[in-house]
């Protein structure tokens, strides 16, 4: 017959005390008087109770949780970012909990408070649209290490890791100009975000640098999603003087632009040049393969996790502001491959 | 001059006891003897300490967290599922924490343990490939309400919400047969999962029902991803007797199949019929729009969340096994629209 495992309740019965008192004795608490302690210890010996210190330590341990808060889980950029973070925190013995704000500041407040309440070791946040330094102040004051990714917030006084959005946009537009495009649109994205502002500035600077006019009608905002891209390109193609190429706010918008072009019987990469921004996994496998400014989402997640772990280990660290370099990855959607083929045939 | 806030430490000093003893008195614990309790209460009165019961309740409260554990965050199906769950738990005043297992059982064990440790109110789990009832036993025994989604596990003794995968596959293959296809492939997916088994069985049953042969060479597994779809269709197109249509394991595979077809200069929907499974957001906007068996990922997340909340409110509830109905959404990738156009022209 198998001997049943002795529990804390058995000890409590035998010693004539409460379960809580037994727990306090097991934890070595000074709140229990000597006589009671002796009674409990005698019962433990008599019943052959084995105290599972490992399990107890786990229960009492400081959480080994890294929180990640993203603003749009349906954009695969953020899923890839989270997968990158996960790879690093996992190796370091942490578990990652993710929360999605859907761009809502109120929800962000709730999920951040909840993660604090549950004692996360550190937080990686891609802040919701419109987040201000004051919104993060309670978190920063609590001393929990924080790394902002994707979107920086002026005056937040925490570490941040963003991409060189300006340089990426300049490289993309220069490439389109070199391919001979004269009417280049900037499609998609919410115009009130810092990321939009930086990419837009790069777009303008590259046009100005080439002595080309900047036409406000060619700058068409939209939700930074595939559906937004469809809407933006539809609007662009209704212009009297249509564009022949577009730098898109992100890859999701670029895929939507390709969809919208096909719906008009135009082939992206042949009839219209499309460049995205991010380099999500799908960019490589899509047909035509998407030319895009690579910010390497998984790599960005890994770097953000490393930055956060460094801070967690160091206790309190000085905030670092890192601007990750980007590179233009030329594939087929910008028509470069088509042109290279023509050159080869000539 | 502003009066400084009196803290528990001040009370402890004044009463000559430890901070823990003060906390126990504040909590009304029976572990403190009467004399000590009287001393502490006197100090509380003398110093004018205001006990912030709201904050204390929050600290002690059962967590208002719903955990969701998914097996592949890079598949937008799971992102949409999580967004559906979030909408419901948010309305009910809960916060959702998500963890990704990447199909690893060991990681699943860690994240589930971590969520338990942090006292989640309930868990929604899409179990990693190969999970057995025994893997979930410690969780089930802990009494935390659990709902399995997408993949059920025999003998797990918890509630589950899956889709009618068999009926969906039958409907899709019947549709392809009605369109005149004789060589229909089943592409993608890991063959050792219950979802694959059910969809595959529906595929076979529809062929047998129509008196058509089942050719093992037309059943080609792969990772259930876009890249997997590209690989699977490449293999299919190398067969001597090529298929003209395919039911794909899921939408991600179907998009990959479309990519692979285009790479061979075949137009999905015109030269080859493609049907997916899931109905992710992108299915509607893709060109050609994807014909697919809709399991309504966001709706599925909502229903799973409602099922879980019902259990949380009821305390301990009997497990329910729900099989959600699915429907074939005919769009363009199966060629039906093309054919309808031909009929209109005739």
Query: pLDDT of B240-289, one tens digit each?
Result: 999 999 999 999 999 999 999 988 999 999 999 999 999 998 898 888 89
Kindly report the average pLDDT of chain A as a whole number. Answer: 88
Sorting pLDDT into bands at 50, 70 and 90, what band is B344? low
Residue A346 has pLDDT above 70, yes or no: no
Using CB atoms within 10 Å of the CB of residue A22, give its burial: 0 to 12 exposed, 13 to 18 middle, 19+ buried. buried
Interface contact flag, A32 B30, Cβ < 8 Å: no
pTM: predicted TM-score of the whole model, two decimal places? 0.77
Q: Mean pLDDT over residues B155-171, rounded?
A: 96
Tell me which of B24, B76, B79 to substitute to probe the interface with A (most A C-beta atoms closer than 10 Å): B79
- Report percent pLDDT > 70 for chain B: 89
Question: What chain B residue is nearest to A99 in terms of C-alpha separation?
Answer: B97
Residue A1 has pLDDT above 70, yes or no: no
Question: Cα angle vertex A340, ends A338, A345, to 5°?
Answer: 95
Residue A55 has pLDDT above 70, yes or no: no
Sorting pLDDT into bands at 50, 70 and 90, what band is A56? very low
* Structure token pair of residue B157: 């003794």
Q: Is A96 helix (H, G, I), strand (E, B) or coil?
A: strand
Interface contact flag, B73 A82, Cβ < 8 Å: yes
Angle at which helix B194-209 crosses helix B165-178, to 10 degrees, equals: 40
Q: Chain B closest CA to A117's CA: distance in Å? A: 7
Q: With CA atoms as reference, report the closest residue to B176 among B336, B315, B40.
A: B336
* Structure token pair of residue A59: 């229960």
Q: Chain A closest CA to B207's CA: distance in Å? A: 31
- The number of helices, as runs of H, and strands, as runs of E, in chain B is 14, 12
State the pLDDT at residue A266.
Answer: 93
| B31 interaction partners in chain A (CB closer than 8 Å) | 18, 20-21, 24, 31-32
Question: Cα angle vertex B296, ends B290, B299, to 5°?
Answer: 155
Interface contact flag, A99 B98, Cβ < 8 Å: yes
Residue B345 has pLDDT above 70, yes or no: no
Domain range summary for chain B, segments of one domain joined by +: 8-60, 65-163+297-325, 165-296+329-345
Domain B8-60 in CATH 1.10.260.40: yes
Alpha helices in chain B, H assignment, sequence order = 8-15, 19-26, 34-47, 53-60, 76-91, 105-117, 133-141, 165-178, 194-209, 226-237, 251-263, 281-285, 297-314, 336-345
State the pLDDT at residue A315.
Answer: 81
Question: Of B18, B82, B227, which has the smallest distance from its Cβ to A73's Cβ?
Answer: B82
Residue A16 has pLDDT above 80, yes or no: yes
| Domain A65-163+297-325 homologous superfamily, CATH | Response regulator (3.40.50.2300)
Question: What chain B residue is nearest to A59 in terms of C-alpha separation?
Answer: B117
| pLDDT tens track for A328-340 | 999 999 996 555 5
What burial letters (b/e) apply to A58-81, b meaning 16+ CB within 10 Å? eeeeebbbbbbbbbbbbbbbbbbb
The CA distance from A288 to B265, in Å, is 11
| pLDDT tens track for B180-226 | 999 999 999 999 889 999 999 999 999 999 999 999 999 999 999 99
Provide the CATH topology of domain A165-296+329-345.
Answer: Rossmann fold (3.40.50)
Cα Rg, chain A, nearest whole Å: 28
Interface contact flag, A117 B80, Cβ < 8 Å: no
Using CB atoms within 10 Å of the CB of residue B190, give its burial: 0 to 12 exposed, 13 to 18 middle, 19+ buried. middle
Tell me which of A7, A74, A77, A341 to substitute to probe the interface with B (most B C-beta atoms closer than 10 Å): A74
Identical fold, A8-60 and A65-163+297-325: no
Residues B283, B334: contact at Cβ < 8 Å? no
Residues B334, B181: contact at Cβ < 8 Å? no
Higher-scoring residue by pLDDT: A187, A1: A187
ipTM score? 0.74
Tell me which of A58, A97, A254 to substitute to probe the interface with B (most B C-beta atoms closer than 10 Å): A97
Interface contact flag, A226 B281, Cβ < 8 Å: yes
Interface contact flag, B95 A79, Cβ < 8 Å: no
| B20 interaction partners in chain A (CB closer than 8 Å) | 29-31
- Please give the backbone phi and psi of residue B106, each rounded to the nearest 5 degrees, phi first: -65, -45
Tell me which of B230, B272, B285 to substitute to probe the interface with A (most A C-beta atoms closer than 10 Å): B285
Higher-scoring residue by pLDDT: B277, B154: B277
- Cβ neighbours of B134 (radius 10 Å): 10
User: What are residue B99's DSSP bridge partners?
Assistant: B69
Give me the total of CB pairs closer than 8 Å, taking one residue from chain A and one from chain B: 119
Q: Chain A closest CA to B269's CA: distance in Å? A: 14
Q: Mean pLDDT over residues B17-25, rounded?
A: 83
């Amino acid at each position: 017959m198998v001997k049943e495992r002795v529990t804390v309740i058995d000890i409590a019965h035998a010693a004539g005390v409460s379960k809580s008192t037994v727990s306090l004795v097991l934890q070595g608490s000074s709140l229990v008087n000597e006589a009671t302690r002796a009674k409990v210890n005698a019962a433990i010996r008599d019943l052959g109770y084995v105290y599972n210190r490992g399990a107890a330590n786990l229960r009492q341990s400081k959480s080994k949780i890294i929180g990640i808060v993203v603003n749009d889980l349906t954009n695969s950029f953020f899923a890839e970012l989270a997968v990158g973070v996960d790879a690093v925190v996992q190796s370091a013995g942490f578990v990652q909990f993710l929360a999605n704000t859907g761009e809502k500041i109120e929800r962000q407040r709730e999920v951040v408070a909840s993660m604090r309440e549950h004692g996360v070791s550190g937080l990686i946040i891609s802040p919701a649209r419109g987040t201000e330094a004051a919104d993060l102040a309670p978190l920063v004051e609590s001393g929990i290490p924080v790394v902002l990714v994707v979107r920086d917030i002026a005056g937040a006084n925490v570490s941040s890791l963003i991409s060189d959005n300006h340089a990426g946009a300049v490289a993309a537009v220069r490439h389109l100009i070199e391919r001979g495009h004269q009417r280049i649109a900037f499609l998609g994205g919410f115009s009130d975000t810092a990321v939009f502002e930086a990419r837009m500035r790069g777009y303008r600077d590259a046009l100005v640098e080439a002595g080309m006019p900047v036409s406000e009608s060619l700058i068409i905002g939209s939700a930074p999603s595939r559906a937004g891209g469809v809407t933006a390109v539809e609007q662009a193609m209704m212009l009297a003087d249509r564009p022949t190429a577009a730098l898109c706010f992100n890859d999701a918008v670029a895929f939507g632009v390709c969809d919208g072009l096909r719906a008009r019987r135009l082939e992206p990469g042949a009839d219209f040049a499309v460049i995205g921004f991010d380099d999500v996994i799908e960019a490589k496998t899509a047909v035509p393969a998407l030319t895009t400014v690579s910010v390497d989402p998984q790599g960005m997640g890994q770097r953000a996790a490393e930055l956060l772990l460094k801070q967690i280990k160091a206790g309190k660290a000085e905030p670092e502001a890192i601007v990750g370099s980007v590179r233009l990855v030329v594939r087929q959607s910008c028509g470069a491959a088509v042109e290279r083929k023509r050159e080869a045939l000539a």
